Structure 1
Amino acid sequence: MDNPLNLHQNLRTPLCDLLGCDHPILLAGMGGVARSELVAAIANAGGYGILGMVREPPELIAQEIDAVRAQTSRAFAVNLIPAATDPTLLDAELAMCFAKQVPALCFFWHPVAAAIKRAKTAGCLVLHQVGSLAAALEAEAAGADVLIVQGVEAGGHVHGTAAALILVEQVARACNLPIAASGGFATGASLIAARALGAQAIHCGTAFLATEESFAHADHKARVLTACAEDTVYTDVFALNWPPHAPVRVIRNSVTDSLGHRLLGHHPDHLPREIIAHEGDRPLPRFSTDSPLRITTGNLEAMPNYAGESASLITTLPSAATRIAEILAEAQIALARLTGAQP
C-alpha cells in the first residue's frame, strides 16, 4: 500500500499541473521584494514564483524577466496591478510582458476586465488576487484562470476585510476556478488547513520575504523574525503612490504608534511629502508605500515594514528552498496528526 503521507501524492494538486510547479506553494508577487533571485529560487525548489513588478518601468521588467530565465527553466508569472497603475505605464508593462512571452500574469486589486482579456488574448495564464467574494466572481466572469483569495491577515496591501478562514471557503463554494489561499499561510499546517477549505495551494509573502534571496532590506527581515501577530497593524497611513482607500498591514513603528487609534481615514492628497529615505537615487517620502529594499538608505524604521500575522510563525532566515522544504515537512507532520499515522 502506498504511504498515505507521501507528499507528492497527497499535496500535488491540479493547480500545480496548470502552473507547471511541483508543490502547491506560490510566492506572492511582492513589489520590490520578489525580484528575479527569489523567483528563480522558488521555481527551482519546485514552488511557483511570481515576479513583483508593480508600476516598474518596462526596461526593468525586461531585465528581471531575463534574469529569472537565466537562473531557471521553470514557469513563473509577473505581478502587475492594473487598477493602481497609470494606463500609459500599464500598457507599456503589458506590452513588454507579451514581447518577452511570459507564460502567466498575476493581477491584484479591483479586477480590470480589459487587462484580463488582453492577457488572455496574448496567450497568458491569468491569476487574479482578490479580497472579497464579489471581486472573485468579477474576476472569474472576466476570464481569469486562477483566484488567489486574500484574507485580512495578509501583509502588504489588503484588498478586503474578511478573514481567510471564512473567505477562502466562501469563494471555493461559489466559484469554479482553482484557488490559492493567501493571508496567514506560512507553514505546513496552514497548507493542510487551506486544502481543507477548498484551496489547491497557498500563496506566501511573509514567509518568503524572510529568506536569503528576498530583495527586502536586512532590517525589514530582522523585524519580521521578532514580530508576532499583535505587532502588525492594519492602516491606510502609508498611502502615497497608491489610490485612496488602500489599507496595508505592516509591523508597528513610530509612525503607526503616533496615530493611536486613528489608523484609518488617511487620504494621500492630504499627507505631507517629507523625504526620509532614498532607494538608490529615488527619494522616498514619509507615508510612501515603498518598503525598505537592499538598496534603500535613510530612516528605515519609519517606512512600511510589511508583514502578515503569520510573522508569529517566522523565526528563521533560511534560503527559499529550505523554507519550502520546511513547509512540506510540516505538512507531513500535520497529515500524520490528522490520520493518526507516524510521520
Structure 2
Amino acid sequence: MIANAAPFDTELTRVLGCRYPILSAGMGGPARAELASAVSNAGGFGLLGMVRESPETIASEVAAVCAATDRPFGVNLIPARTKPELLAAELDACLELRVPAMCFFWDVVPDIVARVKDSGALVLYQVGSLEDALRAEKAGADVIIAQGVEAGGHVRGSTGIMTLLPEIAAHLRVPVAASGGIATGAGLVAALALGASGIHCGTVFLTTHESYAHDYHKQRVIDARAGDTVHTDIYAINWPAGSPVRVLANSVTDAASAHLFGNDPYALPREVIAHDEWGPVDKYSTISPLRSTTGDLEKMALFAGESSALVNERMSAGEVVERLMREADETLDALLARRVKNADIGGGS
C-alpha cells in the first residue's frame, strides 16, 4: 500500500469502486480473466477484452474473473467491429451475467449506452476527440477514456494526450481517464495534473505474466526503444477501412513505408502466416500473437504504444500496479520537496 493514498482517491476511483485510479485496457486477446482479475485484485480496475467473442466465451471468462476476485471489473466490446447479431448476443450475455461495467470503443452508439445504463451497469467509453467525448457523455457514459495518438492497438484520434486530455477534461462533467504513452507513476501524476482522474494502460500490462499475449510479443515490447512504433492502417483485415493502429516496427511495416495509410482491408492480399486457436491468421490481419499462436510471429500485428520504451522488464500485473502507485507517490514527494527548497531559496534571497 502506498504511503500517501489521499491524492489518488479520485472521482474515477469513487465511481468505479476501485482503490487506485489505474485501468488495464480491454485488449482483445491478451486481456483475459487472468489479467483482468489480477489488476482488480491489486486495487486497479481490470477490463476483459471480449471483442468478437462468443456469448459462451464471455460467460466463461466472466465466471473466471468472479471466481478470482470480488472486486469490480468491466468487459470491453467494440460495436463498430462486431456484426450486429453477435454484438446483440454479447450484450445479452454481459447483462444477464450482471457485469458491473461495460467499456466501449470507436464509434459512439447512444442506444447501446442507454441499454447498458438501464440494466444498472456502469459505462466507460474510449474516445479520440472532444466531439466523441461529448457525444458519449450526452449518451450517459459514466467515465470517458481519452485516447491519445501515442496509444498502442487501434487508435481512434490523431491528437497527442498532452493536448487532448486537458481539452476533454475542461468540457466534461464525468471523470476522465488518460490513455496513451503512460507506463510510469510520473505519467499518472502528469495525467492528474492535466485534468484526468486516472489512467488507462495497455502496453505496460501486455507484458505481464498474466497477459495472454505470446512471449515473443512481450519480449519485443520490452526490447523496444523510443521511436520503435509505427502508426499505420496496413494491419487492416478484420476491421473497417480507415482504422489506424500503432504497432512495433517489423518487416511488414518496413515494406509498407511508402503506403502506411489508405490501405483497403478488402484489397489486401490474403496470405496465411500463422495459426491460433481460432484458425489461420492472414499477413495483414489485426490479430496479434497469443500464447496459442504458431507461425511467422514477426510479421503479425505487434500492438504497442509509445510507452513501450518505458517498459523494460516482465512482472506480474499486481507488481505493475504497485510500481505505478509507488512511483506516483515518490513523484509527488519529489515535487513537494522541490517546492519547499525553492521557497527556502527565495525566502533567503
User: Which TM-score applies when normalising by structure 1?
Assistant: 0.97
- Equivalence for 1:155: 152
> Relative to 1, partners in 2 of residues 1:56 and 1:281: Cα closer, same or farther, differing over 3 Å?
closer
- Equivalence for 2:4: 7
- Equivalence for 1:52: 49
2:130 maps to 1:133:
yes
- Equivalence for 2:64: 67
Q: d(CA) in 1 for partners of 2:10 and 2:122? A: 17
Q: d(CA) in 2 for partners of 1:7 and 1:157? A: 35
- Equivalence for 1:214: 211
- Equivalence for 1:191: 188
Q: Specify every segment of 5 or more residues in structure 1 that has no aligned partner in the other structure, as ranges.
A: none
- Please, which of 272, 294, 311 is the counterpart of residue 291 of structure 2? 294
- Equivalence for 2:161: 164
Report the Cα offset of residue 6 of structure 1.
4.1
- Equivalence for 1:120: 117
Q: d(CA) in 2 for partners of 1:116 and 1:153? A: 27
The amino acid of 2:230's aligned partner reads V
Q: d(CA) in 2 for partners of 1:87 and 1:280? A: 23
Q: d(CA) in 2 for partners of 1:141 and 1:10? A: 28
The amino acid of 1:79's aligned partner reads N
- Equivalence for 1:79: 76
Q: d(CA) in 2 for partners of 1:101 and 1:260? A: 46
The amino acid of 1:106's aligned partner reads C
Question: Does the 8 Å contact 1:194/1:202 carry over to 2?
Answer: yes
Question: Does the 8 Å contact 1:7/1:328 carry over to 2?
Answer: no
The Cα offsets for residues 179-222 of structure 1, whole Å up to 9 and x where unpaired, read as 00000111100000000010000000000001110000000000
Report the Cα offset of residue 157 of structure 1.
0.2
- Equivalence for 1:32: 29
Report the Cα offset of residue 261 of structure 1.
3.1
3-state DSSP class of the match of 2:210? coil
Question: Does the 8 Å contact 1:279/1:297 carry over to 2?
Answer: yes
The amino acid of 2:28's aligned partner reads G
Report the Cα offset of residue 280 of structure 1.
2.0
> What RMSD in Å do the two structures reach over aligned CA positions?
1.1
The Cα offsets for residues 90-120 of structure 1, whole Å up to 9 and x where unpaired, read as 0000000011110110000010111111111
Q: d(CA) in 2 for partners of 1:91 and 1:320? A: 31
- Please, which of 218, 221, 224 is the counterpart of residue 221 of structure 2? 224
- Equivalence for 2:300: 303
3-state DSSP class of the match of 1:47? coil
Report the Cα offset of residue 170 of structure 1.
0.2
2:333 maps to 1:312:
no
The amino acid of 1:68's aligned partner reads V
Report the Cα offset of residue 7 of structure 1.
2.8
- Equivalence for 2:269: 272
- Please, which of 247, 252, 257 is the counterpart of residue 255 of structure 1? 252
Question: Does the 8 Å contact 1:279/1:296 carry over to 2?
Answer: yes
The amino acid of 1:158's aligned partner reads V
Question: Does the 8 Å contact 1:26/1:47 carry over to 2?
Answer: yes
3-state DSSP class of the match of 2:313? coil
Q: d(CA) in 2 for partners of 1:300 and 1:151? A: 27
User: Which TM-score applies when normalising by structure 2?
Assistant: 0.95
- Please, which of 106, 111, 118 is the counterpart of residue 109 of structure 1? 106
2:327 maps to 1:330:
yes
Report the Cα offset of residue 244 of structure 1.
0.9
Percentage identity across aligned positions?
A: 54
The amino acid of 1:49's aligned partner reads G
> Structure 1 residues 331-340 or 31-40, which shifts more?
331-340
Q: d(CA) in 2 for partners of 1:247 and 1:206? A: 17
Q: d(CA) in 2 for partners of 1:285 and 1:325? A: 38
3-state DSSP class of the match of 1:340? helix
3-state DSSP class of the match of 1:269? coil
The amino acid of 2:159's aligned partner reads A
Question: Does the 8 Å contact 1:229/1:308 carry over to 2?
Answer: no
Q: d(CA) in 1 for partners of 2:290 and 2:202? A: 15
3-state DSSP class of the match of 2:234? coil
